[in-house]
Amino acid sequence: DVKVTQSSRYLVKRTGEKVFLECVQDMDHENMFWYRQDPGLGLRLIYFSYDVKMKEKGDIPEGYSVSREKKERFSLILESASTNQTSMYLCASSWSISRSGQPQHFGDGTRLSIL
């Protein structure tokens, strides 16, 4: 089975802090994604990566950056955390274009609170 592991289930940080959310997948997937999920708004894409060191902005990239130095790991960075970034963050991975029929697999999520 595919395993997507997010480093923290719950995280509490203060405004202005730099926050790192980590995600690791064990299936050698080329694509990795970061979403946030908010009540009434559903899931929205922040960033995705289709290869090591490659990244593309999603629908709501403002205030975030990402890092993919190794194929299995995709990090989401909140440069200067703000209260409106309090949310559930979900990481996902999938095969590349050549096998793009394959489903996306999600981690258990990180519930982040910014105080």
Partner 1 sequence: KQEVTQIPAALSVPEGENLVLNCSFTDSAIYNLQWFRQDPGKGLTSLLLIQSSQREQTSGRLNASLDKSSGRSTLYIAASQPGDSATYLCAVKTDQAGTALIFGKGTTLSVSS
Rounded to whole angstroms, the Cα distance separating 67 from 74 reads 6
Is residue 56 involved in binding partner 1 (CB under 8 A)?
Answer: yes
Is residue 19 involved in binding partner 1 (CB under 8 A)?
Answer: no
Distances (CA, A) of 58 to 13, 17, 65, 81, 112: 24, 23, 11, 19, 20
Q: Which range of residues in 11-19, 64-72, 76-84, 92-100 is near partner 1 by CB under 8 A?
A: 92-100
Among 30, 66, 74, 114, binds partner 1 (CB under 8 A): 30
Is residue 105 involved in binding partner 1 (CB under 8 A)?
Answer: yes
Rounded to whole angstroms, the Cα distance separating 95 from 27 reads 9
Is residue 75 involved in binding partner 1 (CB under 8 A)?
Answer: no
Is residue 66 involved in binding partner 1 (CB under 8 A)?
Answer: no
Element (H, E) at 66: strand 64-70
Is residue 96 involved in binding partner 1 (CB under 8 A)?
Answer: yes
Element (H, E) at 17: none
Helices (H), 25-104: none
Task: Enumerate binding residues for partner 1 (CB under 8 A).
Answer: 4, 6, 30-31, 33, 35, 40-43, 45, 48, 50, 56, 58, 90, 92, 94, 96-97, 100-109, 111
